[in-house]
A and B are shown apart, each in its own frame.
Chain A
Amino acid sequence: MSEEIKVDKVMDLKGLPCPMPILKVTKGIKEVEIGQVVEVWSTDPGSINDFPSWARTRGHEILKTDQNGKVTKFYIKRLV
């Protein structure tokens, strides 16, 4: 049983290659409050490694990663 994650903002970054997904999410996460969750859709294969690196460095938490075909969904909780 997976727990339902309450999402506060959805960012559709499909079709954007590096470095755009990381740049967009850096701006996007500032638009939610600390403790809220952003759901990001990316088709950039680099994102699978990039998002965890970014989150670790910036101090955010990736609650869940869903890969479905070419699209990967990241659920990122803003912590700082």
Chain B
Amino acid sequence: MQNIEAQIEDLRSQIAAIDKKIPSDKISMIVFSGDMDKVLAAFVIATGAVAMGMEVVMFFTFWGTPILRDKKKKVGGKDTMAKMFGAMLPKGSCEVKLSKMNMGGMGTAMMKSLMKKKNVASLDKMIEMAQEFGVQIYVCEMSMDLMGFKREEMIDYSNMSYCGVATFLEQAKDSKIQLFI
């Protein structure tokens, strides 16, 4: 009798250990690209995943970081390099370009007007939807620092915080789907 109880206890702890290893219904995305088309795809998948009942976390790093800047916000106190990066990189989702057929901005403008005509949601609108649906956004602190961005110039997004690689890996380890965009 005691033997059976010990076995049950053993099984219980084994099940608990296995439970820990099963990933959650979660999707983790790294948004590395700063291209309009790719980031739009990332947000379509992100919002779609919430609609499918999944938890979603997006990690913005490198060229993806400037997309989350707010066009209307101005910050001072930057050094020359930071000012240069700030001026050269897109200021927010309205300024990002297509990865192909940009043609000096003409292609992107044409695509935007076509999207409007066909009722396809803009990147701006998708970010808004993501916020409404509770998509968690993490921004790579190292990219922020490297490009000289300040937190005060980022968009107002309710579920946004700043992190490093460990935060991403902890989430990714527990996700059924991981994407690098």
Contact = CB atoms under 8 A, between A and B. Distances in A.
Interface of A: 15-20, 22-23, 25-26, 53-54, 57-58
Contacts of B51: 19, 22-23, 25-26, 54
B48 A19 contact: yes
B112 to A, nearest CB: 15
B53 A17 contact: no
A27 B118 CA distance: 23
B interface, size bucket: 10 to 19
B32 interface: no
A20 B47 CA distance: 9
Contacts of B129: 23
A17 B133 contact: no
Contacts of B53: 57-58
Contact of B119 (A16, A23, A25, A54): A16
Interface string B103-114: 000000000000
Nearest to A21: B51
Contacts of A22: 48, 51-52
18 contacts: A16-B119, A17-B118, A17-B119, A17-B120, A19-B47, A19-B48, A19-B121, A20-B119, A20-B121, A22-B51, A22-B52, A23-B48, A23-B51, A23-B129, A26-B51, A53-B52, A54-B52, A58-B52
